[in-house]
Structure formats: structure tokens, C-alpha cells
Amino acid sequence: MSANHASVDPHKLADKDGHFRRVASTFRDSVSSDPSAPFPAEKNRYVLYICYGCPWAHRANIVRSLKGLEDIVQLVVMGNELTSDGWLYDGKHGSAARDPLYGFTSHSQLYLKADPEYKGRYTVPTLWDKKKETIVNNESAEIIRMFYSAFDELLPPELREVNKPGGGYYPEKFRKDIDSMNEWVYDTVNNGVYKCGFATSQEAYDANVVALFESLDRLEKHMEEHGTKYLWGEHITDSDIRLYTTLVRFDVAYVTIFKCNYKQIRYDYPHLHKWLQALYWEENVETKGAFKQTTHFVPIKEGYSMATGQKIVPYGPKYPIMPLGPETR
């Protein structure tokens, strides 16, 4: 256990008033397509560290697959147990038994290799530079934006952002709409489920669970009124990727483990449910099978159970995600 984190209980994340407040990410550099940049795009130079249970890491893993970066950016998967030393390596559920680069057994060791004086939390996703042996970035929103285009010169033309139908994953024509939606979805949905699950006072829980379902109602209305397959049209955008990793965990983990049990996606939000099923089940030029292939329900349930200090992992639901019906196909 590292000295700087020895007194931190990873399961007690709320402030004294009972509210959970997420701490901003620390490493905020960028990979660039410019060969003269501090972190230029190069094949086999960077490593993406994730754990399957984390929705923030899941975003980056989806984009890595959507963009065809599997042979360019190495992937390292850790186990589901969160400790004061961060995520541990355990070799379970497709994770690595040890860090393949350095033989580390916990994620804290990577952070402290980058900065021996680091005193924050050891979070994922983490983008590592093997050449400089440091962390480039640990903010999921910024990592996925890098992945959209920074490595495009190393990819075939059809995978480059400029050639993607609809203007790419962050299209100029929807950019203001995407940014606006991302802001309130992050606060009340992506992070909102954590504000509910980690709340330690009734007041904090009540305030955040109401805000969560008001935003889900708003998203359902958006899908109904727009009548499109995805949030901003017939092509997947940044907003779809960010929302998916929360909603695919909702009925499976957040309803029970995080007490977000007022409604369920599959029963109470027909348009969002149809959207979710399409992203997960369909394998076409839009999804490329990336959403299903990167979704691992056992680590999700186990990870959240352990993160909240629970020893029992919920048995259900029978279907982690409902099978496609005729109306969805």
C-alpha cells in the first residue's frame, strides 16, 4: 500500500454533507497528429489502461474499437477490485494477472512511476506513453476526443474522422448541441448515478435521484421528438458513446446496487431502450460490434458491489440486456 494513500478508504467517497463530488482528473496532455508535438501519434507507443467495470474507461475502449486502433494503441485490463492502491491485477474475467509492461500488481504503481509525488486517486482510463514512461491523460472525455482523430494518419482512409458519414463522431453541425447535452447528462446521469450510489445522507440521495430520473425523462422525450436512430441523427456521435456506458449498466447494476430504482430503462423508457438495444446488438457500419464486444456484465456487477463495500453480487436480472424484438430489428 502506498504511503500517500494508506489512510484513504476507497469505499467512502462522499463529503461530510453526504454528497459525492468527483475530483477533476490530473493528467491533461494530448496525443497529437503533429509529429513535432510532445506526444505525437505513433504506432505501439501508447497504452490504454482500463477495467471492464468502469463506464469512464468503457468509453475509451469503445472508441478504440470503433476507430480500429487495436493494433495501434495497446490495451491493458485490470481486475475489478478497487483498493487504496487503485485497481488490482488479478487475472479474472479476461484481465491481466500483472501489468505486462512493468510487472506491477496495482494501478498505483503506474501513477507513482509517472509522478512519485502524486497524491490523487488512481483512476481509469489512463493513457500511458511507453517512450516517455509517463501518463499522457486520465480524463475519459479528452481521451476519446484524441482517439477520434489524432491517429487518423495511421489508419486507412475509410476509418478517418474526415471521411466518416455524418461528419464524424464530433460533427461540426451538431457540436454545440452535443456539448450542451453532454454537460447536463454528465452532471445528472453519468455522474448522477454515482451521486446516488455513494450518497451517505438521505437528503443527498433524494436530491440526486430526482435529478437523475428527470434527466432520463428528458432524454426519452428527446429521442421521441427527434425520431432518429441515435441521439443526433442516423449516425453515432460523441453523445451516444458517453450515454451508452451509463445506460447499459443501469438495469444491471445501478437499479439495485446504487439504489436508482424508481424506473428501469427496459420497462419505462421505450425509446431509450430501443436505442440501447440497437447499439448493443447490432453489428453494422455504425456500431462495428464495438459496443457489445466491450461490454462485460459480470465485471460490471462485481465491480460495483465491491466499490460500495458489498460482499453479495446481485443474481439478476435474467437478461442483462433484453434480446432484440421484431420492432427493434
Report the 10 Å Cβ neighbour count for 116: 9
Residue 54 a catalytic site member:
yes
The Cα 135–Cα 127 span in angstroms is 6
In whole angstroms, give the CA distance from residue 318 to residue 105: 34
Q: Given the DSSP bridges, would you call strands 73-78 and 46-51 parallel, antiparallel or unpaired?
A: parallel
Residue recorded with cell 478517418: 160
| Integer Cα distance of 94 and 101 in angstroms | 17
Whole-Å CA distances, 143 to 25, 63, 64, 73, 219: 12, 9, 10, 12, 25
Say which of 51, 54, 196, 260 is annotated catalytic: 54
Distance, in Å, from the CA atom of 117 to the CA atom of 119, rounded to the nearest integer, reads 6
134-137 and 73-78 strand pairing: unpaired
- Known catalytic residues are 54
